[in-house]
Amino acid sequence: MTRARTPRPHEVDAARRDERLLRAFRDRDRDPGWRTRGLCQSVDPETFFPAPSESAEAAVALCRTCPVRGSCLAWALEAGDLHGVWGGTTARERRAMAVVWRSGELGQLAPVTAATAATDATSATGAAPAGSPAPSMDRRELLRLVNAG
């Protein structure tokens, strides 16, 4: 069994700007019954636990359209080092997100999570895929969206 490596600083920084993480923070206490509404209920569970040599894209793609992806990811981040795809993220991505999640800095950015809601509205128009990372969006851009909204 291989030991998971510690996320690198650039991975943690990317996680900090990831809309999926902001959504998870926003939705963390929103829906205690999220498990019963996940789109994966009707899919072979093995899809969400690909072997190391297999792609996770099929599961990640389904998660992008799942209405409870924020709650699902929040649960996985609280649970700790889980395998498989949760909330549209791989275990490797979550390791970097977990550093930010546990740091407490998301609480300081709480108003910024409104930007995620704005992005949800945008993605509903097809302008951007829901749940995808926003590599070009920095903290300043998030604040601009909040102030504009």
Nearest of 97, 120, 70 to residue 13 by alpha carbon: 97
Q: Is residue 38 at the binding interface for ligand SF4, with CB under 6 A as the rule? A: yes
Query: Which of 15, 63, 100, 106 touches ligand SF4 (CB under 6 A)?
Result: 63
C-beta separation of 99 from 7 below 8 A: yes
The minimum distance between CB 73 and ligand SF4, in angstroms, equals 7
The rounded distance, in Å, linking the Cα atoms of 100 and 21 is 9
Binding range to ligand SF4, per CB under 6 A, among 66-74, 93-101, 121-129, 138-146 = 66-74
Q: DSSP secondary structure string, 3-23?
A: PPPPPPHHHHHHHHT-HHHHH
Residue 86 lies near ligand SF4 (rule: CB under 6 A): yes
Residue 7 near ligand SF4 by CB under 6 A: no
Shortest Cβ 98–ligand SF4 spacing (Å): 16
Among 20, 28, 69, 95, binds ligand SF4 (CB under 6 A): 69
Nearer to ligand SF4, 60 or 144 (CB): 60
Q: Which residues bind ligand SF4 (CB under 6 A)?
A: 38-40, 48, 62-63, 66, 68-69, 72, 85-88
